[in-house]
Amino acid sequence: MNPARPAFVPDASATREEMESLQREVAAVATWADEFDFDPAAVGPLRDSGSGGDSRQATLSPGSPSAESSLPLVAGVDQAFLDDRAVSVVVVRRGGTVIERAHTVTDLEIPYIPGLLAFREGGPILAAFAELTCDPDLVVFDGSGRIHYRQAGLATHIGVTLDIPSVGVAKGLLCGTPEADVDGRPEGWRTPILADDDVENAEPGERIGHALQSRQYDSRPIVNPIYVSPGHRVAVDTATDLVERLCDGYKLPEPTRLADAYADEVKRDVASGG
């Protein structure tokens, strides 16, 4: 894995003012335009809503491992907690194959504070990335990117620190305003999240992410949407397109689900042994 850019590494011992100041620097160097080499259509399956069959692979015919070698490496990041320690994991896939997993167990320094998540979890996550030997083309984070008071959420902060394309996927909305009412929408539906007065350095009404109804049931609308925003080197629309491709019939993208499961597994091992 490429080394972190030291200037942006989140320091949990910083003062609140220093943390917010660093976030403004992160936001200033982040780019929210597509800046990556891979083909977005190659990150995962997306049912073609049009004609016919059961074709779930966008670029691969099932059972042709050789074609996978050209697919981008997509990583999922997640954490589990045990007392005052964080289990941080990175799971990397190429196509449908997990090619590497890394994890670390780290002491937590500060509590969770909305808007400062990267200072609680960023260090542990970077430690896990340091264990990684491959270089992912895209990283999917559990949390916000641009949808953040200073447009420097976890996905943006770590994306900038590692200078790697990243997207944030949150189960709840931190700030900003959905353009349309989000309740009871059909699967596949999306609406932009607009910057409001809570978002710094953004024109009010600027699109900073999407609410995406990644999963819905026919009968009762009981599923909440997810909130997708660019981390770094990905545009708003592209971030949501990518996440939609990665969801594959579930509410959360596959990289996140794999990372979540692996984090639980490591946590279980740590809890019962060394």
Partner DNA sequence: GCGACAG
Partner DNA sequence: ATCTTGTCGC
User: Residue numbers of the site for DNA (CB under 7 A)?
Assistant: 78-81, 112, 114-118, 142-144, 148, 153-155, 168, 170-175, 219, 263-264, 267
CB of 216 to DNA, least distance (A): 12
Cβ-based nearer residue to DNA, 71 or 170: 170
Task: Give the residues across from 90 on adjacent strands.
Answer: 77, 102
Alpha-carbon distance values, 122 to 66, 128, 156, 158 (Å): 36, 10, 11, 7
CB of 148 to DNA, least distance (A): 5
CB of 17 to DNA, least distance (A): 16
CB of 218 to DNA, least distance (A): 7
Cβ-based nearer residue to DNA, 74 or 154: 154
Tokens of 158: 């770590």
Cβ-based nearer residue to DNA, 110 or 134: 110
Q: List, in sequence order, every beta strand (DSSP E) within the chain.
A: 73-82, 85-94, 97-107, 138-142, 166-170, 177-178, 190-194, 207-212, 226-232
Distance CA 253, CA 78 (A): 12
Q: Is 142 annotated as a binding residue?
A: yes
Burial class (CB in 10 A: 0-12, 13-18, 19+), 163: middle
Distance CA 182, CA 190 (A): 8
Distance CA 76, CA 225 (A): 19
Q: Is 78 annotated as a binding residue?
A: yes
Cβ-based nearer residue to DNA, 59 or 191: 191
Distance CA 192, CA 229 (A): 10
CB of 58 to DNA, least distance (A): 24
Question: In the chain, where does DSSP find H-type helix?
Answer: 16-29, 65-68, 117-131, 154-162, 236-247, 254-272
Cβ-based nearer residue to DNA, 193 or 242: 193
Known binding-site positions for Mg(2+): 78, 142
